[in-house]
Chain A
Amino acid sequence: MTFAEYAWLIPIFPLIAFVVIGFLGNRLFKKWEGGAPIAIGMAAISLILSLLVAIEALTGDGTPFIQSMDWLIVAGENFDFNFRIGIYIDTLAALMLIVVSIISTLVVIYSLGYMHEEGEKKRRYYAIISLFIGVMLGLVLASNFLQMFIFWELVGLCSYLLIGFWNTRPSAASAAKKAFLVTRIGDIMFMGGLFIFFVGFQGNLDFDYIFNNVEAFVGGNELLTLGTFLIFGGAIGKSAQFPLHDWLPDAMEGPTTVSALIHAATMVKAGVYLVARSYPIMVHTETTLMIVACIGGFTALFAATMALNNTNIKRVLAYSTVSQLGYMFLALGAGGYIYTQTLEPNIGYTAGMFHLMNHAFFKALLFLSAGAVIHAVHTEDMRLMGGLSKKLKITSAVMLIGCISIAGIPPFSGFWSKDLILEAVYEGIEISPIFGVLYAMGLITAFLTAFYMFRLWFLTFTGEPRDSYAYDHAHEAPKSMWMPLAILAIFAFGSGFALLFGFESLIVPEGVFALPAKTALVVVEDMFTNPLTYASIVAALLGIGLAYLAYYKKTIDPAVFTATPARKAMSNVLDARYGFTRAYDWIGLTVVYGIAKVVSAIDRLIIDGFIDGVSSFLIKSGNFLRRGQTGYVQSYAAVVVAGVSLIAILLLLIGVVI
């Protein structure tokens, strides 16, 4: 281990960029694009370091590299514990390092063109985005749950700041607040899980200790199940899973680069990473894994339906992110549950992480291309686009690659991972019929995904321009924008081939089970002799075909989808996001605010009332007693005389001899 010893520097560089850009004044960077070169340079340095560390970890013998130092030492008589701060690099962390650092570097470079017109606010943008990258890398490298939680919260803070970047817009401000508060519900659950682990593992939260000593948990399996479920609760909030998914579409109020970063590399991927990281504990709690699988499968389908009729180019992508994250949880949960039942290695975990990697690349590509489109036409409404492929040749080409990839057409990357996920879920049908339902959900989602992604592409880039002003002023993105797009397109096309080069045996849950290495030929043979593969390809092709007929050939009029009252009603429900926005508002305004009002009334009337009563009694009695202060010297003297006389009489009565 040589490079890994310097892995702690990886998050430091972007943090240096944050400090330098954030605190060294506007004047210094006015001519420098608000400090962009520093942000890019530091991101690039940590990219190089990340790659070196990751390659070293991936080619090593698979034992995790752990380095930590004492941070908080508490020595009690009966209970002493010790929080450490350090780094933990296994193949999973290495994979995340690669994904996060590549995508964030490309996004920062892309920002050079996209954020060019923001003026003085650029400095704030580059400072926060550097912080965002730094803390996400820190989260990936964390060596214990507490350290991870600290970075977890910082990631939430950065996303709040960036979603609300255009803070003068009320919609952006409220979207930022919503993102922060909704993910906070998950964060509280995560914290609850940490408390349980802290008690159960007697004050030791190190990954290294916990993963190797799960049986040392004090408190029984029920408590452990609750603990892992709460940990997953954190992931629900962060990764926008049902029912805490509704903040992610609103988060589209931020700049598109931020959306790309949140959706592809940071923030929402942190939730998946957390579940994958906790896998060695999760496999001891089958109930939690079942919940993970069900929530994942349901969210995949549920979010995909909302993308069907949305007309905002970014929101469609946001729903597709929620849906694809659902796939990842489905794979993780299903694979883990099947393992708990059969105790045989399966592909679920690998499929989930594989999809995380592929999704990161094609979703970053899709978002950044959408950003290029928005940059060109200055609107996010697809109804005002159309025919843009003539003007935006590069953008339309790379976005097509992204769409094919997410739809799952071989040999593009999305195909490999989506197919593995469906295969992993299908394996579970023998164990429980629930997996049959989940598999069907996954397959329908594949169809819907292909449909709405190609609907998006056809609506944006083909047909007649529907808004001539926007069309006439459209222009191809500058070089700083299309270069990252081109690089991402290569990844989005090719990252799936990692499966042919031993991804399957490399990314396995550490210390739980191992998968045998397969040669590329065997992988391909397994995949294409399996009838399931053709089922998912057919589903994707059907989706693309339907979109083609409806939005390109126009042989099916899209108005058909809303022709009858029932279909119209369905479409309205989708537009209203199944009422979740209103439900959140209702919960916030009626339930939470109502409880707050009751609590406030108790505080004001009972607690404050008691204190006020005591003070007003004292004030009133004081007012009464001060009447004795007449100001007449003689009345005071009379009191003195009376008092002395009284004492003298008393002394005489009790017979004291003076």
Chain B
Amino acid sequence: MIPLEYFIGLSAILFVIGVIGVLVKRNAIVVLMSIELMLNAANINFVAFSAFTANLNGAVFALISIAIAAAEVAVGLAIVMNLYKTRDTISLDQINLLRW
């Protein structure tokens, strides 16, 4: 059996990749994808702990999380679409209307 630490390490690496993607990428769609990476890192944790402790709660939670992620992506992509229609760009460093 693969030890738990490996799962946690994978999940941590994925999460950090996601965070860096969110912080440094300019393209809004790439940012959305990075958010998915972070969610999946969390899901891996859920499932790994679920298997490790022989408790199904974590696996069920991961399923719910995937469903919510799908909905979130739908909303996020719709926002990006409208953004593109009105501002002709999806580059986040050009979208700074709400500032001082």
A residues bordering B, Cβ < 8 Å?
626-634, 637-638, 641
Contacts and interface: CB of A to CB of B under 8 A. Distances in A.
Contacts of B96: 630-632
Contacts of B97: 631
Contacts of B99: 629-632
Contacts of A633: 92, 95
Nearest to B31: A634
Contact of A632 (B19, B22, B92): B92
B23 interface: yes
A641 B23 contact: yes
B54 interface: no
A627 B23 CA distance: 20
Contacts of B24: 634
Contacts of B93: 632, 634
Contacts of A634: 22-24, 31, 92-93
B23 A637 contact: yes
Contacts of A626: 100
A127 to B, nearest CB: 63
Nearest to A645: B19
B1 interface: no
Contacts of A628: 100
A121 to B, nearest CB: 63
A7 to B, nearest CB: 76
Interface string B68-100: 000000000000000000000000110111111
B92 A638 contact: no
Nearest to B93: A632
Task: Tell me the dominant secondary structure on chain A's binding face.
Answer: helix
A629 B100 contact: yes
A65 B48 CA distance: 107
Nearest to B100: A626
Nearest to B99: A631
A452 B41 CA distance: 115
Contact of A641 (B19, B95, B98): B19
Contacts of A632: 92-93, 96, 99
A631 B92 CA distance: 10
A32 to B, nearest CB: 72
Interface in B23-54: 23-24, 31
A638 B100 contact: no
A630 B98 CA distance: 8
A628 B99 CA distance: 9
A615 B31 CA distance: 42
B34 to A, nearest CB: 10
Contacts of A631: 95-100
Contacts of A629: 98-100
Nearest to A626: B100
A634 B94 CA distance: 11
15 contacts: A626-B100, A627-B100, A629-B99, A630-B96, A630-B99, A631-B97, A631-B99, A632-B92, A632-B93, A634-B22, A634-B24, A634-B93, A637-B23, A638-B23, A641-B19
Identify the 10 closest CB pairs spanning chains A and B, nearest first. Answer: A631-B99, A631-B96, A626-B100, A629-B100, A629-B99, A631-B98, A638-B23, A632-B96, A630-B99, A634-B23
A629 B31 CA distance: 21
Contacts of A637: 22-23
A638 B24 CA distance: 9
A8 B31 CA distance: 91
Q: Which of B24, B93, B97, B100 has the most CB of A within 10 A?
A: B100
A134 B23 CA distance: 86
Contacts of B95: 631, 633
Contacts of B23: 634, 637-638, 641
A637 B20 CA distance: 11
A631 B95 CA distance: 7
B11 to A, nearest CB: 15
Q: Which of A632, A638, A641 has the most CB of B within 10 A?
A: A632
A632 B19 CA distance: 16
A2 B90 CA distance: 101
Nearest to A632: B96
A637 to B, nearest CB: 6
A631 B99 CA distance: 4
A76 B54 CA distance: 79
Contacts of A638: 23
A169 B99 CA distance: 62
B20 to A, nearest CB: 10
Contacts of A627: 100
B84 to A, nearest CB: 16
Nearest to A644: B19
A630 to B, nearest CB: 6
Nearest to B22: A637
A538 B60 CA distance: 129
Nearest to B94: A632
B44 to A, nearest CB: 19
A652 to B, nearest CB: 14
B91 to A, nearest CB: 11
Given A633-B92, A633-B95, 20 more contacts: A626-B100, A629-B98, A629-B99, A629-B100, A630-B96, A630-B99, A631-B95, A631-B98, A631-B99, A632-B92, A632-B93, A632-B96, A632-B99, A634-B22, A634-B23, A634-B93, A637-B23, A638-B23, A641-B19, A641-B23
A637 B22 CA distance: 8
A634 B93 CA distance: 8
Nearest to A628: B100
A630 B99 CA distance: 5
Nearest to A625: B100
A281 B92 CA distance: 91
Nearest to B97: A631
B22 to A, nearest CB: 6
B26 to A, nearest CB: 8
B8 to A, nearest CB: 14
A462 B15 CA distance: 121
A637 B19 CA distance: 9
Contacts of B22: 634, 637
